[in-house]
Amino acid sequence: MKPNHSPSQPIGIFDSGIGGLTVAHALVKYLPKENIIYFGDTAHLPYGDKSTAAIQAYAVKIAHMLLQQECKLILIACNSASAAAYELVKEYIGSKAIVMNVIDPTIRLLKDKYTAKRIGLIGTRQTVNSHIYKKKIDDLNLDIQLSSYATNLLAAAIEEFGNHHVIDSLLEVYLAHPDLQNIDALLLACTHYPVIKERILEHYKKPIEIIDSSEIVAQAVKKQLEKNNLLNANGTSIKHFYVSDYTESFAANAKLFFGEDITLEHYPLWD
Ligand code: DGL
C-alpha cells in the first residue's frame, strides 16, 4: 500500500552519471509539468564495470535520498543499475514510492514491434553479463533473436568527450563484432548511447534500425502516473540536477545529453 502521494511531488531519476539525462529529457517532453530531481552518481561512474553488490549498495542509498526528497516515483534511468538493483530497490522502497526501470518498457516495445526480428544489443558489461534482456524475452516466450555485446568503454568515453570523432575508433572495433552483424535493429541498452546514434548508424553498411528506448520509458512513466492519479497537470516544473562529484567536464557535457542548458548542482551523498 503506497502512502498518499500528491501530484506535485517530484519524480526522482538516477543514473551512474549524466547519461540518464537522455531519459530525463524525454520525460520532460511527455510530462512538462512534473517536478524533477535528477541524481547522477558521477563519483562512481562508470557502473558498467562495478560488481552487482556495489551497484546495489549505491542504488539503495540513492533511492533513499530521493525518498527523503519526497519523490512519488523513482526511475532508475540506467540499464546497468536496472539490471543489478531494480528488484532490491523495489523491495526496500517499493511500499513508499513507485519504482521503475528502463528495461521493462523496452521489453514491452520489443514484444509489440520486433517479433521475428534479429536484434543486436549493446550495453555495459554489467548489463550484458546479467543476461537480463534475454531472460525477460525468454520468460515471455518472445520470438526474438537477441545477440548482445558489451561495448564497455563507450559510456565513459561519451561522458569524457561527448559526441566526438574519437568515439568512431571504438565503434569501428565494437560494431564489427560478429554478434552485431546480420541484425534488423540495434538496441541501445545504455542511456548514454542515444547521443551517438548517428555515428552508430554510419558504421553499418546496410540500413538498420536503432532502438532508443528513452521515449518509450517516458511514456511508461506517464502511464504509471495516470494510473495512480499522480499526474501533475498544473504549475511550473521545478527541476534539480544533482551530481555526486562535480567537475567542469560534467557541467560542459550536460547540455549534450539533456539537449538544453542546465545547471548541475553538487550533492555530496558520499562525503
Ligand atoms: N548509463 C548507464 C547504463 O545505462 C551506464 C553507464 C556506466 O556507468 O557504465 O547502463
**Domain at 76, CATH number:** 3.40.50.1860
Tell me if residue 210 falls in helix, strand or coil. strand
Show the domain range for 235. Answer: 11-102+215-266
Tell me if residue 90 falls in helix, strand or coil. helix
Residue 84 belongs to a domain: yes
CB-based pocket (< 6 A), ligand 1? 15-17, 19, 45-48, 78-80, 123-124, 127, 155, 190-192
Least confident span in 59-63, 211-215, 249-253: 249-253
Ligand 1 pocket mutation pick from 76, 79, 82, 130 by most atoms within 8 angstroms of CB:
79
* Angle of CA points 187, 190, 192, to nearest 5°: 120
Measured in Å, residue 95 CA sits from the centre of ligand 1 at: 26
Strands 118-123 and 145-150: parallel
- At 15-45, the pLDDT tens digits run 999 999 999 999 999 999 999 999 999 999 9
In this structure, the answer to whether residues 118 and 150 fall within a common structural domain is yes
In this structure, the answer to whether residues 109 and 209 fall within a common structural domain is yes
pLDDT higher than threshold 70 for residue 144? yes
Per the confidence metrics, is the pTM higher than 0.85? yes
In this structure, the answer to whether residues 178 and 238 fall within a common structural domain is no
Measured in Å, residue 15 CA sits from the centre of ligand 1 at: 7
Cell (9 digits) for 136: 525477460
Residue 207 belongs to a domain: yes
In this structure, the answer to whether residues 121 and 210 fall within a common structural domain is yes
Is 259 within 8 Å of 27 (Cβ atoms)?
A: no
